[in-house]
């Protein structure tokens, strides 16, 4: 059951509750549609959903401020509807827990208020018109330029020569020249021929149906010119697969890719759907008219919250307001200003459904190599890896990085110092750094130790202060670091025309804190090749990329502060890319690491003690001896495991203090349980 804290805190709560009562009273004669997800494609499909079985007539009028809508309340047993509503409203106002046996009443009242507090704001002249209440309107109103910019490239999928539909849904640019929408949207104008090749269907007068991305379909549109034609259908997902499709569009000014989140959506996170709701007979006509003001087929920004994230990570649910035509909407986080999902379905008075954006980008990276190998696709940290065929990489001069303090061992407190690990035999392999004798490349809020022989980081170390995080616009201009030899780095040419991404070791958002200038420097510094290692495009990094966020949100973490070490597991058995040409810069051949590790350190808020946990992104090699069943190599997954196992695999030494602070290996006792814990969400962390 969703919480009411944010509603109780609203200054407009009483007024909104009363208004909800009046609205639901007006709609009492029309029973709600049956629950269950339904695809949103197309405006107003024929046929309305059947009413709920056992629907009852409204009870007699009530004397309270909730007069007239008790018939919409589910009441169990012999309880009187009027008293049940009065009691529920009283408890909500007082912040009290539900009375025994009245949980259903609380949910019903809560749902009515939430319906009222989920306004689909119109977008007029490329600007969101905030004219109705939402629990966290401040998150949008305080950063209107950011969210207005996110809305601009989202377009309506219009059709020409279709027999019945002028438009069928929503699409948005996910990579240069590529738009994502839903499978059931694309199927309205695309089909496969006898050889499985995708083509445009035939429509009126046997003409091929044409599709356009229309970004100017807004309320009171005046003078805007931003639309483009779809010239190729790249991919349509099959039955049982996530509901998505990719389209290639003609280049157009102003239709630029949206920023992609590096982490999955979290339960309770504020989000917004950007799309084109159409009149939909599957919804209650009166409620629909009130919520959408009888204005349809134009662009809207619909705020709400994430309700649940499925354990397998395949879908998540939300409570924003949508209609048919929202299929393919971009779901953006109101915290980060980045896309976290692709909307694909909704159930009246129940939930909306989204595909997590990491599944969308992983699918696109798998599709493009067999269609357009040089196309740029958002990487696992939200950055586009290409195009990489530029003749020369940008180089950051040493003086431009002067004064960067790097990783701070005393970040968690002067009496809780966390030093860089001892690199052991790797010390002789560190790339020489101009002006330093310790091999440390210092950036804003993080440091890198670079392996000269492997040309990638041996390890990175970053200080993260979540309380001082700044929202930043993505700047994904990669560069070589001029403080070390180019032959000790992997430049952009390697990443052209192969299925490998530049995998951030320090996430781009992690050093983005402090003053606006410091945050910008930290984020820009993360786009040096010294902070990247080749990672296969199909690598599933959902929970790996979210680890820092999981830990930051844990009740045990003091002050939203973490120190995090990350790196690849470097082995002699790592193989080079098949068929790769010798490096043009004369550097060592590039071998691809198979696994990656992470050690996170924090201060336990309850005890004040140091707390350290280890993780690995693995296909099985490091953890095969730590699992109970016989291990078969399969898909990559994120595991938590003892830090000493990471030390054994990497040759690094994190010291007794961190080993003793590891809950999977307390005190380094020989009899301590040795195990690997699969991480499918924050609840799986052993803290």
| Tally of CA atoms within 13 A in the half-sphere of 215 that contains its CB | 25
Select which of 343, 504, 543, 611 is catalytic.
504
Q: Report the alpha-carbon distance of residue 244 to residue 234 in Å, rounded.
A: 11
Q: Report the alpha-carbon distance of residue 298 to residue 652 in Å, rounded.
A: 57
Instruction: State the CB neighbour count (10 A cutoff) for residue 219.
Output: 16
Going from the C-alpha of 285 to that of each of 44, 48, 167, 290, 596, the distances in angstroms are 11, 10, 21, 9, 53
Does the CA dihedral 159-253-526-581 come out positive or negative? positive
**Cis peptide leading into 387, omega within 30 of 0?**
yes
- Residue 466 in contact with residue 513, Cβ under 8 Å? yes
Sequence-ordered list of residues with C-beta below 8 angstroms from that of 280, at least 6 positions apart, any chain:
40, 43, 44, 45, 288, 323, 324, 325
Instruction: State the CB neighbour count (10 A cutoff) for residue 90.
Output: 12
536 annotated active-site? no
Q: Report the alpha-carbon distance of residue 318 to residue 305 in Å, rounded.
A: 6
Does the CA dihedral 80-83-88-89 come out positive or negative? positive
Coil/strand/helix, residue 3: coil
Sequence-ordered list of residues with C-beta below 8 angstroms from that of 541, at least 6 positions apart, any chain:
358, 380, 503, 535, 617
Tell me if 165 is assigned to a ligand binding site.
Answer: no
Token couple for 246:
């990719």
Going from the C-alpha of 172 to that of each of 72, 275, 329, 341, 550, the distances in angstroms are 38, 9, 7, 12, 28
Q: Report the alpha-carbon distance of residue 18 to residue 357 in Å, rounded.
A: 38
Strand partners, 305: 270
Q: At 210, give phi and psi (nearest 5°).
A: -105, 145
Q: Indicate the annotated binding residues.
A: 540
Residues catalogued as catalytic: 504
Annotated binding site for Mg(2+): 540
């Amino acid at each position: 059951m969703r919480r009411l804290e944010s509603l109780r805190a609203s200054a407009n709560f009483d007024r909104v509750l009363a208004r909800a009562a009046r609205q639901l009273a007006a709609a009492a004669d029309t029973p709600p549609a049956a629950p269950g997800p339904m695809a949103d494609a197309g405006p107003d499909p024929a046929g309305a959903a059947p009413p709920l079985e056992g629907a009852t007539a409204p009870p007699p009028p009530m004397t309270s401020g909730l007069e007239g809508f008790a018939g919409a309340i589910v009441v169990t047993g012999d309880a009187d509807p009027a008293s049940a509503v009065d009691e529920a409203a009283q408890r909500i106002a007082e912040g009290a827990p539900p009375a025994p046996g009245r949980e259903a009443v609380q949910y019903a009242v809560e749902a009515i208020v939430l319906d009222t507090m989920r306004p689909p704001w119109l977008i007029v002249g490329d600007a969101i018109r905030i004219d109705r209440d939402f629990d966290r309107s401040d998150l949008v109103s305080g950063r209107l330029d950011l969210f207005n910019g996110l809305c601009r490239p989202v377009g309506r999928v219009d059709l020409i020569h279709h027999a019945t539909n002028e438009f069928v849904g929503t699409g948005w640019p996910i990579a240069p020249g590529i738009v994502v929408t839903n499978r059931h949207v694309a199927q309205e104008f695309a089909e496969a021929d006898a050889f499985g090749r995708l083509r445009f269907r035939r429509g009126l007068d046997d003409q091929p149906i044409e599709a356009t991305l229309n970004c100017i379909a807004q309320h009171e549109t005046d003078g805007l010119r931003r639309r483009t034609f779809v010239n190729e259908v790249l991919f349509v997902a099959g039955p049982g697969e996530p509901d998505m499709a990719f389209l290639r569009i003609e280049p157009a000014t102003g239709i630029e890719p949206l920023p992609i989140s590096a982490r999955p959506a979290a339960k309770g996170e504020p989000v917004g759907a950007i799309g084109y709701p159409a009149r939909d007979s599957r919804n209650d006509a009166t409620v629909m008219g009130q919520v959408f003001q009888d204005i349809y087929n134009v662009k809207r920004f619909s705020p709400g919250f994430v309700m649940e994230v499925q354990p397998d990570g395949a879908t998540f649910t939300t409570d924003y307001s949508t209609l048919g035509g929202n299929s393919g909407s971009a779901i953006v986080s109101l915290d980060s200003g980045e896309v976290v999902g692709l909307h694909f379905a909704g159930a009246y008075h129940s939930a909306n459904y989204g595909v997590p954006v990491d599944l969308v980008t992983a699918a696109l990276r798998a599709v493009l190599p067999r269609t357009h190998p040089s196309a740029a696709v958002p990487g696992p940290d939200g950055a586009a890896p290409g195009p990489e065929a530029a003749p020369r990489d940008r180089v950051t001069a040493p003086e431009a990085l002067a004064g960067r303090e790097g990783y701070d061992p005393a970040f968690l407190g002067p009496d809780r110092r966390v030093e860089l690990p001892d690199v052991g035999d790797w010390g002789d392999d560190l790339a020489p750094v101009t002006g330093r004798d310790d091999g440390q490349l210092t950036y804003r809020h993080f440091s890198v130790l670079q392996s000269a022989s492997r040309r990638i980081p041996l390890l990175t170390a970053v200080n993260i202060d979540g309380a001082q995080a700044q929202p930043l616009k993505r700047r994904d201009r990669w560069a070589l670091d001029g403080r070390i030899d180019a032959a000790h780095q992997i430049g952009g040419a390697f990443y052209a025309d192969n299925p490998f991404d530049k995998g951030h070791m320090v996430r781009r958002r992690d050093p983005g804190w402090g003053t606006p200038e410091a945050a910008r420097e930290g984020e820009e510094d993360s786009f040096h090749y010294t902070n990247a290692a080749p990672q296969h495009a199909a690598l599933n990094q959902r929970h790996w990329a979210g680890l820092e966020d999981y830990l930051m949100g844990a009740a045990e973490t003091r002050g939203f502060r973490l120190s995090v070490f990350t790196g690849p597991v470097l082995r002699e058995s790592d193989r080079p890319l098949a068929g790769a040409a010798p490096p043009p810069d004369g550097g060592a051949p590039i071998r691809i690491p198979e696994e990656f590790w992470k050690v996170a350190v924090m201060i336990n808020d309850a005890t004040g003690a140091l707390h350290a946990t280890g993780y690995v992104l693995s296909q099985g090699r490091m953890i095969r001896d730590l699992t109970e069943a016989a291990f078969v190599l399969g898909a990559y997954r994120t595991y938590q495991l003892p830090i000493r196992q990471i030390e054994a695999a990497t040759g690094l030494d994190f010291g007794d203090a961190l080993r003793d602070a590891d809950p999977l290996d307390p005190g380094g006792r020989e009899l301590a349980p040795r195990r690997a814990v699969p991480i499918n969400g924050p609840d799986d962390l052993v803290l």
